[in-house]
Structure 1
Amino acid sequence: MSDKESSTIQVACPCCGATLTVDPSLPAVLDHKLPAKPQVAAKMEDVPKIVKEEASRRDEKYQQLVEAEKNKGKVLDRKFQELLKKAKEEPLKKPLKDIDLD
């Protein structure tokens, strides 16, 4: 049995953190163990601190979204100018019609 145990590889899943036991000779997962869930309950003394941290994170995220929205018009204008410049540089070609193929 030691040969089979030594041929397996244990890998941590980057998405969920589960431990996967994989056999390289077989393209299969032999076993998986889910990670222990972190304790969700907080002490009552920590609640105001947690609420303030969440509020500051929300404010930061909101400010980032506001800045992105302010720059959105500039970005779209810049893209439009670049595409307009590219369209002016390329000569117009007559579209190929089905009758021209005969």
Structure 2
Amino acid sequence: MLTVDPSLPAVLDHKLPQKPQVAAKMEDVPKLVKEEASRRDEKYQQLAEAEKNKGKVLDRKFQELLKKAKEEPITKPLKDIDLD
């Protein structure tokens, strides 16, 4: 439900509709627990794989930036006094 001020194009208040709570049947609980465990394990595997690849990605980025830094000529930085 939205409460809108007609003089201002603004929403003053909003409320989400209440969802009826569906109680799980006792027969379905073991199935739901197994499904939740499998989702949790899958999510953990994805995070573990991302963490493994994180080191490789950072190493690759470092190597590319190092190569780029070696290719750039070394110049003496300008000082404020040199500009006068």
Is the TM-score greater than 0.5?
yes
Aligned length in residues = 83
Q: TM-score, normalised by structure 2?
A: 0.78
Q: TM-score, normalised by structure 1?
A: 0.66
Q: Identify unmatched segments of 5+ residues in structure 2.
A: none
Quote the offset at 1:22 in angstroms.
Answer: 4.8
> In structure 2, do the counterparts of structure 1 residues 93 and 37 end up closer, same or farther at CA, with 3 Å as the change threshold?
farther
Equivalent residues in 2 for 1:1-102 (5 A)?
Answer: 20=2, 22=4, 26-29=8-11, 32-39=14-21, 41-102=23-84
- Point out the structure with the larger helix share: 2
* 1:7 aligned partner: none
Q: Please provide the CA RMSD for this pair.
A: 2.2
Quote the offset at 1:32 in angstroms.
Answer: 3.3
Distance in structure 2 (CA, Å) of the matches to 1:96 and 1:54: 61
> In structure 2, do the counterparts of structure 1 residues 81 and 31 end up closer, same or farther at CA, with 3 Å as the change threshold?
closer
> In structure 2, do the counterparts of structure 1 residues 30 and 97 end up closer, same or farther at CA, with 3 Å as the change threshold?
closer
> In structure 2, do the counterparts of structure 1 residues 38 and 85 end up closer, same or farther at CA, with 3 Å as the change threshold?
farther
Q: Identify unmatched segments of 5+ residues in structure 1.
A: 1-19
Quote the offset at 1:21 in angstroms.
Answer: 5.6
CA displacement 1:3-57 (0-9 Å, x = unmatched): xxxxxxxxxxxxxxxxx36578731126634222341532211111110011001
